[in-house]
Every structure is written in structure tokens, then in C-alpha cells.
Structure 1
Amino acid sequence: MASERMPRLVLTMGDPSGIGPEIIVKALCDPMVRKMAHCLIVGNAAIFQQAAKLVEANLPVRSVSGFDDPAFDPDGLNVLDAVELDLRRWTPQKPNEESGRAAIRAIEVATQLVLQGAADALVTAPIHKAAAHQAGLPFAGHTEFLAALCGVTETRLMLVCDELRVIHVTGHMALLYALAALTPERIIKTVELALPVLSWLGFDHPRIAVAALNPHAGEEGAFGDEEERLLRPAVERLRASGLEVSGPVPADSVFWQAWQGAFDLVVALYHDQGHIPVKVLAFDRAVNVTAGLPIVRTSPDHGVALDIAWQNRARATSLMAAIRWAVMMAKHRALGRSG
């Protein structure tokens, strides 16, 4: 990213039956967001015309070919109209194969723009997994699709808010399976994948804590042996590599300690262990960051919200936070490259 220009973000429209289009319009109507970055929406221009009308946006919708198009308006809703959508087969709040196909195409186009260097970061609106699968998506979800497009095999979900940063060793799987998937190697790999993201967040020498699995970190084996058998070996190997890693730290205190500034990152062992503290602190401000990708990717920490979609009820708070964090990460990443 050239130092003399504003960061360039591409925003995918998400599933057009959900809240993606309207929260994008609402976010970009905020002048503070437009001052942070030049934003290019990858989607369907007709959908965004409707979304702008729904929310009574005071910005024009412009179809552009990219950031360098003379028609690009920093104070407009600039849409790369790269997604075909048969509006006769599209219904608000009712995702289907048509809307799923549109969401997939937006992700493909936007990701390529970032990989090619035309944009500095990717911000994705929510997709509807079932609709995407109906349209032929051969991956479990959004993140797995992005990993394939970027040519990587392992990623991790990180949640970021002003108070906490949490990365998850396991993701969307039943708790029984998540526990079975825990190994020292997987914990170590999780930390390794977190390091570039932490650097993009401004933490070049991060203080990392690994959360314990059992009450009181197992109480020396009284409440389980996973801490001694799985977690402590991983922590010791990470320390031996020169990283500042603590743990296993009892899960009932580690997030509070991080909130108080003792740690820059908490490694959570399973989905809810990491999600609950972040959502209690920052339910509508938390942002998903994908660790393991060669690009900056953020997304709001919510789904398509079909129950309120296309009613002008959806709030853009989390998407605006995703844009803010993407800008910050893109700037730090550019500084690292230039340094």
C-alpha cells in the first residue's frame, strides 16, 4: 500500500437475501468510515440501488470498474457490478440457490482483487451456508472457501475487539470432537498462525496466554490430565522457540487478565470458551479475523439475520468495526513490508 494514498478495501455483499447490502450502505453513509478508506463494494448494483432506497441513503450508487475508474467517488457507494443476480428469483429474507451463487461470485472476485494487490484488505458480509451449498460451494463455509482461493490449508478464527484478542484452536465442531482434536501440535500451529495477524495489529512482541481446559487448570491432575499431557508441552515448546507464552492459565481468570492488559492474545481451546468473554464485552463491536490467510480479512461477528433483513432494522456497528480493524491491519502490514 503506497503511503501517499488511502487504504483500499473491498467489501463483499454477502448473501443478498440477508442484511449484508443494507449494513454496507449504512456503514458507508457514515462520513467517518469514508475518511478511513476507499471502499469498493463487490456485488450487484441493482441490489444496492434497492438497499440505498430502503435505508434512505444520501449517497449515490455508482457502477465502477475498480478503484482507478474516473467514476469512482470517495463519497459515493461504488459497486463493482460483477455479480449476476436474477431479481425475479431473488426474495428478501429467503436465501436460495440464486442468492448463494451471487454470494460465492462476490467472494471470488473480491479475493482476487486483494491477492493481485488492487486492494489492501477484504471485508466480507455474511453468507448463508445452506444457500451457498445449494449453489455448489464444495466447502464447509466462508473461511474454508477463502483458504482455498488463497492456496492455504490451515486457518484459525480470531476474535478482535478493543478489550480482547482471542484465537481458537478448534472451531465449529461438537465439543466432544473439539476436545478429541486438541494436540500440542495443533496448539503450537494456532499460535504460529496468530503471529502475522498480531503483527498487523501492532504487536511485534506479543504476550500470549494459553487458556486451560479444566477447572483450576486441572489442579495438578485432580480434574483431568489435559493440562499436563497436552497444554504444558505446547507452551514449553513455544517458549523454547523464543515466544512469550504463559499457561495453561485457568479459563475463569485468563480473559480478565487479558482485559486488564496482562496478555495481548488468549488462545482458547474451543469455540464457546473464546466467544463468550468477547461477546459479553463487545457483542456488537467484535470482529472476526481469519488467521492463516496471506491477506487481511475481517468480517462482522454475526450472520445474515434473516428475521430483520430488508426492514431497515439491522445495525452496521459490527461491520463498521470490521472496516476499522481492516484499515488498521492493512496499514501495519504495509509498514512491515516497507520496513
Structure 2
Amino acid sequence: MATPEPALAATLCVVGDVAVMRRAMAWAGVKRPLLSLTGLDEIETLPPGCVAVWQPAGMPAGLLDCPMGHIDALAGAAAALCIEAAVQAIQAGQADAVVTAPIHKEALHAAGIGYPGHTEMLQALAARGGDVVPVRMMLANEELRVVLVTIHCSLRQAIDLISVERVLETLRIAQRAMLSFGITAPRIAVAGLNPHAGEGGLFGDEEVRHIAPAIAQARAEGINASGPYAPDTVFMRARDAAGHPGEFDVVVAMTHDHGLIPVKYLGVEQGVNVTLGLPFVRTSPDHGTAFDLAGSGLADPSSLKAALAQAARMLV
């Protein structure tokens, strides 16, 4: 998951509010000229060195007056509008990939947007006029890849969602993703849900009833999946670092925090979130909105740059 700078040479366009972007560039000390586009067809004629910004129709007024570092319904509405416009541009053949910046889920809710996060919204947008596509969240850095069976829901709901079908579907999606990344014989480790992966049903029976049967079905389909492994050790085994070759290419984890804590602990600077299963490429940084840094110009862009580089690589 290395993120070389040359990958950032892809043609980029910011979808957002022009005035907000101009202010952000000033705070960050960016000296490049900003070019406001009337349509994405103008990307092909961009002069070198400029920052292109496309402001979709219907952008809420007064965004510059929103308080910095605070939840605001206007900002949530603007974020949703930009996400929808970016997906529509891809569906119209005007763009090849979308790299989303962090959004605040409470701001979306305040704006009346009924999605708990990016992933669910993108899934719904991709399904317009057709069937809902199964998607999964993958977080990855240079040392570890993790694909999640459940995403943005309560822990109680996540446990209730674990089923043979859902785990098997996740294994199939993970397999296809690893093959698309050039891994010809993916090794997929499956983390259990309960302590010690349930100890044969002593500490919970989800492994016996749901997870192990899904692994067996996946193996029957030719997927090299193994487990369920104790979730407190499998990530160490999968970590691919200097002097420590990973035993697995990807870990499938049952819940959001089970899977994401180890990836983020290794460093959010190079972490990338990839939505698997969509009919287009979507990546994002692996961190949130950092309201405490809003307006300071001090936010670290490393994870966003890694997300841009990953999207560029996935388009090759």
C-alpha cells in the first residue's frame, strides 16, 4: 500500500464550495491559482499548477458563516450534495474515481440526510435505477489490510447481523478485491467475534453457527480462507513489516472497531479506506474531520494523499 508521489499526477478536481476552498487554501498557505469550473468537461483544458474546483448547482448559501469546528446542518447538506454530484459525474462518464474527504456524520443527520456514513450513501447512489450492490469497507496501510463484515451500527446490531450469508459474501468481496490488486493467490484470515474465537462455543457460539460454516463454503469455492482466529492475535500474524512477513494478505473482521483499531494504531497517516463492491473506485482517508484543527492549517494531509494515490493505482 505504498503511496508514491508520482501517483498524484492524476488530473484532480475538488467538488465543493469555491469560496470555502479559496479560504482553506489561504489558511494552508497554498499559493497556486484556483480555477472555478462551470462543468467537469473543462478538466481536459486545465492550465498546469492550478487547483480546479467544481461547485455543483444547489450549494447552500452562507457556508463561510458556519462556525469553524462545530456541527452545522448547512455543512452536512453541502457535503451530501458534493458526494451525490461526484457520483453522478462518474456515472455520466465525466470522472473515473471519487476520493472523499472526511465528513461528520452528525452534520449529515442534522441536515436530514438519512445515511449513517459515506459507505451507505455511496451504496444507495450506486443502486439508482438498479439493484443494491453489496459493499464492504476495507481499511489498509503499508502493513495491514482489513475488510469488515459490519460497519456503522451499534455493537449489539453488529452481533445480530453476523450470519453465514453475510460472512460468505464478505469473503467473496475480499477475494475479488485482492485479485484486482494483483495478489494472485490471496490468503484470507477470518477473525472471530468472541474472545478466543469462542473457544468452541464456550464464550459464544457465533463462530460455530455462522463464521466457520461460511469459511467452509468459501473454501469449497476455491477461496483460501482460514479461521476463525482469535481476534486479539490474528492482526499481529497478518501484519507485513520489516523482519516480519505477514501470514495473510487480508483479515476479515466481524465489527468496525475490531478491525479498524489495529490498522489505525499502526498510523493513520498512511491509512486508506476503500469501499469494495461499488461499480466505481472510491477511496478516502482513514481519519475523521478533526474539528479541533479546523481553520488552523495544521491538519496532516498524508492520509488524503495516500487515498489519492491508491485511487490512481486502482484505475491502472
- What TM-score bracket applies, with the shorter chain setting the length? 0.7 to 0.9
Corresponding position: 1:61 with 2:41: no
Counterpart of 1:80 in structure 2: which amino acid? W
Q: Distance in 2 between matches of 1:220 and 1:132?
A: 42
Within the candidate set 84, 93, 101, 1:108 is matched to 84
Report how far residue 221 of structure 1 moved: 3.5
Match of 1:247 among 227, 241, 252: 227
User: TM-score under structure 1 normalisation?
Assistant: 0.82
- One-letter code of the match for 1:44? D
* 1:201 to partner: Cα distance: 2.3
**Any runs of at least 4 consecutive aligned residues in structure 1 with deviations exceeding 6 A, and if so which?**
none
User: Are 1:270 and 2:279 matched, yes or no?
Assistant: no
What does residue 61 of structure 2 align with?
86
Equivalent position SS for 1:133:
helix
Gaps of 5+ in 2: 240-244
- Does the CA contact (< 8 Å) of 1:33 and 1:320 recur in 2? no
* Separation of aligned partners in 2, 1:136 and 1:153: 24
Map 1:83-162 → 2, pairs under 5 A = 84-87=59-62, 89-151=65-127, 152-162=132-142
Contact 1:161 1:287 in 2 (8 A): yes
Between the two proteins, the alignment pairs up a number of residues equal to: 301
- C-alpha contact 1:159 1:166 (8 A) present in aligned 2: yes
Matched position secondary structure for 2:190: strand
Matches within 5 A, 1:272-291: 272-291=257-276
Return closer, same or farther for 1:299/1:131 CA change in 2, 3 Å cut-off: same
Following superposition, the deviation at residue 316 of structure 1 comes to 0.6
| Secondary structure in 2 matching 1:94 | coil
Q: Assess if the C-alpha contact under 8 Å between 2:191 and 2:234 holds in 1.
A: yes
Where does residue 37 of structure 1 map in the other structure? 10
Once residues 128 and 213 of structure 1 are traced to their aligned partners in structure 2, the CA distance between those partners, rounded to angstroms, is 28
CA RMSD of aligned residues (A): 2.1
Percent identical residues? 43
What is the rounded CA distance, in whole Å, between the counterparts of 1:144 and 1:223 in structure 2?
32
Matched position secondary structure for 2:315 = helix
Q: CA deviation at 1:139?
A: 2.2
Instruction: Specify the alignment match of 2:242 in structure 1.
Output: none
Quote how far apart the aligned CAs of 1:328 are: 1.3
SS of equivalent residue, structure 1 residue 298: strand
Q: Is 1:310 aligned to residue 295 of structure 2?
A: yes
What are the superposed Cα offsets for residues 4-53 of structure 1, whole Å, 9 maximum, x if unpaired? xxxxxxxxxxxxxxxxxxxxxxxxxxx93674311111111111111111
SS of equivalent residue, structure 2 residue 269: coil
Counterpart of 2:211?
231
* Aligned-residue offset at 1:121: 1.2
Tell me, in whole angstroms, the C-alpha distance in 2 between the residues paired with 1:196 and 1:170.
Answer: 18
Report the equivalent of 2:315: 330
Corresponding residue number in structure 2 for 1:46 = 19
1:314 Cα offset (Å): 1.0
Checking the alignment, whether the CA contact within 8 Å between 1:207 and 1:244 is kept in structure 2 is: yes
C-alpha contact (below 8 Å) 1:40/1:67 kept by paired residues:
no
C-alpha contact 2:146 2:252 (8 A) present in aligned 1? yes
Other structure's SS at 1:105 match: helix
With normalisation by structure 2, the TM-score equals: 0.88
Q: 1:202 Cα deviation (Å)?
A: 2.2
